[in-house]
Structure 1
Amino acid sequence: MKHGTKQDYELLEKLEASYLNGTASRLLRELKSQGEESLSGYKITRLEHALQSATRAWRDKADIDWVVAALLHDIGDGLAPQNHDRFAAEILRPYVREEVTWVVEHHGAFQMIYYAHHLDGWNPNERDKYKDSPYYQTAVDFCENWDQNCFDPDYDSKPLAFFAPMVEEVFPRKAYDPAFTG
């Protein structure tokens, strides 16, 4: 990199802008691929879980940032299973407000209330360490209403094509634009 010229980096910046414009398409493609596989033991695919979560958020009249966050909150399951929540939050962070990112980033700890008591050495109250966060209750509500209940093989969720325009609206935003993130 140290031997690059001004012209080299101007060209790369131009090409990168074009690549950034394809972020929504790449995310939708990744979600679609999650419909081709399922985590062992679950009755639905990871895509169906995402669609159920986003559908519930949409039906609850959540704003576009929450609907897209619900759709993407577990997108990292396949690539970063031990920190999928942080993985998803980093995808969202440049484009949505802090509250939404914080909830996605911490939802893994908040979900433990539903299952950790069944596993030796796991703390079902892991979320308690975040009690002082202004977003604590929002995370509780996100998990209760749009995550833990989204494994229903009979739920009538909207298709990915329904949510595509929302993803395509959020991801072309200028990264870290205070109008959206502040």
Structure 2
Amino acid sequence: MSSEKVSFTQMKDGTKDEYLLLQKLEKPYLSLTADRILDELRRQGAVSLEGYQINRLQHGLQSATRAERDGADIDWIVGALLHDIGDGLAPQNHDRFSAEVIRPFVRWDVAWVVEHHGIFQMIYYAHHYGWDENARDEFKDHPCFNSCAEFCERWDQSSFDPDYDMAPLEHFEPMLREVFARKAYDPDVMREGFVSPLSR
């Protein structure tokens, strides 16, 4: 913990030097983003996915394992691993929360799919509640529509199996660290407008 502190009590009173100090002091915190995400995943392993046969961590591990075994690249694998990372703090909009966690570090189409997977998943269960199972059709003209439908079908909705041979978190840790070590919002990473295949 640094002993250096700014003098202002209102942001509008801060000087350039003070904001440069804050920027410098924030760098070590930003570099630990992957560690905080790994901590959250481990916490999800200790919290039940109420009513399901597996916990939240296992669901992410199964999704990521399926993605990797399908030949997906690192962005899709990490996206699959973290697509429900927002469940703990934002259960009502976990898809959007999860997308914001990964958005600075992955291709735009991966972030879009994670952001919208919740409404796409409704095709499997919404009719049981009297909801619109085809709500995802509002995005039918979006270039990532098929990617999201495929993501849900192949990796998300199928990953609640207690007998599935999933890889452990340690297997995915190097990939996660590689992705979160990238420069945030790098246009060469985000590749806005490019829709990538889910598997090679």
TM-score range, shorter chain: over 0.9
Do structure 1's residue 181 and structure 2's residue 190 form an aligned pair? yes
After superposing on structure 2, the runs of 4+ consecutive aligned residues of structure 1 that deviate more than 6 Å are none
Match of residue 134 from structure 1:
143
1:7 deviates by 2.8
In the aligned structure 2, how far is the partner of 1:72 from the partner of 1:136?
A: 19
Q: Count the aligned residue pairs.
A: 181
1:25 deviates by 0.7
1:17 deviates by 1.2
- What RMSD over aligned residues (CA atoms) do the two structures have, in Å? 0.8
In the aligned structure 2, how far is the partner of 1:2 from the partner of 1:119?
A: 49
Out of 130, 145, 153, the position equivalent to 2:154 is 145
Q: Give the structure-2-normalised TM-score.
A: 0.88
Residue aligned with 2:161, SS: coil
Do structure 1's residue 86 and structure 2's residue 93 form an aligned pair? no
Match of residue 25 from structure 2:
15
Do structure 1's residue 160 and structure 2's residue 169 form an aligned pair? yes
AA aligned to 1:155 is Y
In the aligned structure 2, how far is the partner of 1:128 from the partner of 1:58?
A: 28
AA aligned to 1:51 is L
1:6 deviates by 2.8
Do structure 1's residue 74 and structure 2's residue 84 form an aligned pair? yes
1:3 deviates by 2.4
Q: Give the structure-1-normalised TM-score.
A: 0.97
Match of residue 97 from structure 1:
107
In the aligned structure 1, how far is the partner of 2:44 from the partner of 2:83?
A: 13
AA aligned to 1:8 is E
Identity between Structure 1 and Structure 2 (%): 65
1:87 deviates by 0.4
